[in-house]
Structure 1
Amino acid sequence: MSNAFKSIEQGLKEALSHARGDKSAAVLHEIEIPDPDVQAIRARTGLSQVAFARSIGVKKATLLNWEQGRRHPEGPARVLLALIAKDPQIVQRTLTP
């Protein structure tokens, strides 16, 4: 069996245990994600602010606020930015048909 299969199998077992009400089987996976340097991440992609904002599904104003430090990305946006920081072309490669 491959590692992927084992991981999926374990996830399904945990989901079934949870569905049955067994809270002891629940496993919480927490990953610490550092504050992203949004401007540097965008620059590495080579995209304009408008194109980058569109590619990650946020408004240009939101991106500007992140880049200028007035606001900070949270939750899924923070995870997506961390992925893009490691692989600047991940969004285009993954979502382009």
Structure 2
Amino acid sequence: MSSFGDDLIQAMTEALAHAKGEGPAIVHAPMAPREVREHAKLTQAQMAPLMGMSVSGYRKWEQGQRRVSGPAATLLRVIEKEPEAVRRALLS
């Protein structure tokens, strides 16, 4: 079987175990993009580029039309704790 096939089987096995309540699972608390943005004292127009997205896409997160997950949720956590570090990293 291909590496992709092996990875897919492993992922589905882990997903099934998680659904059954077995095995380790990483569950992150949901992020509230508006709260993070307001805490960082940013506008939507300032926040969207930090997240690498359009303002309209970012707005959909705040309005609940799209869900924040994966790397975007991690980046929101970093922005929440160290907004200036993210700005410096992106401007350099």
TM range (shorter): 0.5 to 0.7
Q: Which has the larger radius of gyration?
A: 1
Classify the secondary structure of the residue corresponding to 1:73: coil
- Quick one: structure 1 residues 32 and 86, their matched pair in 2 at CA, closer, same or farther if it must change by over 3 Å? farther
- How far apart in 2 are the matches of 1:80 and 1:89? 13
- How far apart in 2 are the matches of 1:63 and 1:90? 20
Report the TM-score, using the length of structure 1 for normalisation: 0.60
How many residue pairs get aligned? The number is: 69
Instruction: Give 1:37's aligned residue.
Output: 32
Q: Which runs of 5+ in 2 are unaligned?
A: 1-24
Instruction: Give 2:8's aligned residue.
Output: none
Instruction: Give 1:60's aligned residue.
Output: 55
CA RMSD of aligned residues (A): 2.0
Q: Percent identity over the alignment?
A: 32
Report the TM-score, using the length of structure 2 for normalisation: 0.62
Q: CA deviation at 1:96?
A: 3.5
- How far apart in 1 are the matches of 2:73 and 2:46? 18
